[in-house]
Amino acid sequence: MMAAAAVPIALLLPYVIDTYTLTVLAIYAMLALSLGLVWGYGGILCFGQAAFFGLGAYGYAVGAINIGESTIAMVVAVAASAAFAAILGAMMFYGRLGDVYLAIITLVVTLILYRFMSSTAGDAYVIGKARLGGFNGIPGFPTLHVPGDPSAYIWGDALYYLCAAILVLVLILVKLLLSSGFGRIAVGIRENETRMSLLGYDVRARKTLLFTIGAAVAALAGALFANWGEIVTPRLFGLTQSAEIIIWCIVGGFGTRLGPVLGAASMGYLKFLLGQQSLIDNTLVMGLILILVVLFLPRGLVPALAGLWDAAWQRVPARRVQRRRRDLV
């Protein structure tokens, strides 16, 4: 239903907002959805989703420079980031680290990538033909084109429609995943990990897999972002980027599919508006929003509005949850 509504919205929006901005909003929405999947449905407190976003972007840039073509570069970007997530996830989940460690390790890994990428200026840091370029990043890689026809670039409006279509597709896939056995079991694991392993489920393997899927979606968003910005820089791995993804999801509401998407789109647009003036600092506003939402609206907008809606129509209250309060155990 949501996907069906998304199509006309995606088609109508260009009459209101320019497609350049819309493209990045769609990409942000996809990125938020990836965290919404991992954290909201899997209960995995990933503080470093930006790592996979950034790796996707770098993977695309490096791939495109070396291959000289975009379709395989997209695949390379997603696969590289997913492989990285699989290794990291296996290390964390098989090590039975608690939630908070997980949050910290994912954050630290993001910082490592940031530090490392920032220090890659110079000729020593090349992958194939691509220079990593240190703090200035990698500009000038081939951008998306129609598969098989490297001269037919996809940019401008076309890039927006492509991103919107991919977003809708990802939404549908996420919905299918969540209603499948795998998704329902993932939610069971979020609710009670020990119980699920006592029922015979291999929690570690399943969390690793979900984490990897989330990373692949984030990497897809990152690769598209590289195409939108036409440059990749270490800032993609920055703490602010990591924080923003979480802010989008918390504002929208974890544990829903719509929440992260709407949160990302609205916060992303707010950021865009703030970027057009110099009176109020963008970071300051984002920080304030995060504090206020945690304090006053911890479940996020979408679940809160759904609750109001249900109350107005006297329906059974929407399912409680979705952010885990269980702390260290």
Partner 1 sequence: MDLIAVMAVEFLYAVASLVLISAGLAVVFGMMRVINLAHGEFMILGGYVTITAVNLGVNVFIAMVIIAPLAVALIGVVVERLVIRHLYGRLVDTMLATWGLSLFFIGLVTVIFGNTTTGISTPIPGFAIGDYRINGYSFFIILVAVLLLAAMAVILRTTRFGLIARGTMARPDIAAALGHETERIYMATFAVGSALSGLAGAVLAPLVGLVPGSGAAYIAKAFITVIAGGPQLLAGLMSSATFFGVVNQLFTFTISPVIGEVALLVAAVILLRMLPRGITGRFFRERSS
Partner 2 sequence: MSDIVLETSGLSRHFGGVAALDNVDFSLRARELRCLIGPNGAGKSTFFNCLTGLLRPSDGHIFMRGEETTGWPVHRIASLGVGIKTQVPSVMDGLTVRENIWLSASRHHRQTDHAERRTDEIIARLSLGPISHNLLGRLAHGERQQVEFGLVMTGDPWLVLLDEPAAGMSPEDMVRISEILRELNDTAAMIIVEHDMQFIRSIASRITVFHQGRVLVEDDVERVMSNPTVRDVYLGRTA
Residue 212 structure tokens: 């990897």
Instruction: Kindly state whether residue 112 participates in binding partner 1, applying the rule CB under 8 A.
Output: yes
Mask for 148-177, x = binds partner 1 (CB under 8 A):
------------------------------
Instruction: Kindly state whether residue 320 participates in binding partner 2, applying the rule CB under 8 A.
Output: yes
What whole-number distance in Å separates Cα of residue 78 and Cα of residue 162? 17
Instruction: Kindly state whether residue 306 participates in binding partner 2, applying the rule CB under 8 A.
Output: no
Closer Cβ to partner 2, 278 or 325, answer by number: 325
What whole-number distance in Å separates Cα of residue 58 and Cα of residue 216? 14
Instruction: Kindly state whether residue 200 participates in binding partner 2, applying the rule CB under 8 A.
Output: yes
Instruction: Kindly state whether residue 295 participates in binding partner 1, applying the rule CB under 8 A.
Output: yes
Nearest to 221 by CA among 110, 106, 55: 55
Map the footprint of partner 2 across residues 169-198, applying CB under 8 A: 181, 184-185, 187-188, 190-192, 194-198
3-state secondary structure of 43: coil
Residue 116 contact among partner 2, partner 1, none, beta carbon within 5 to 8 Å by kind: partner 1
- Of the candidate spans 63-71, 87-95, 155-163, 175-183, the one that interacts with partner 1 by CB under 8 A turns out to be 87-95
Nearest to 132 by CA among 55, 242, 27: 55
> What does DSSP say about strands 231-232 and 138-139: parallel, antiparallel, or unpaired?
antiparallel
Map the footprint of partner 1 across residues 219-238, applying CB under 8 A: 238
What whole-number distance in Å separates Cα of residue 301 and Cα of residue 292? 12
Instruction: Kindly state whether residue 44 participates in binding partner 1, applying the rule CB under 8 A.
Output: no
What whole-number distance in Å separates Cα of residue 57 and Cα of residue 125? 17
E strands present in 73-188: 126-127, 130-131, 138-139
Contacts with partner 1 by CB under 8 A lie at 45, 47, 91-92, 95-101, 103-105, 107-109, 111-112, 115-116, 118-119, 194, 197, 238-240, 243, 246-247, 250, 281-292, 294-295, 298, 323-325, 327-329
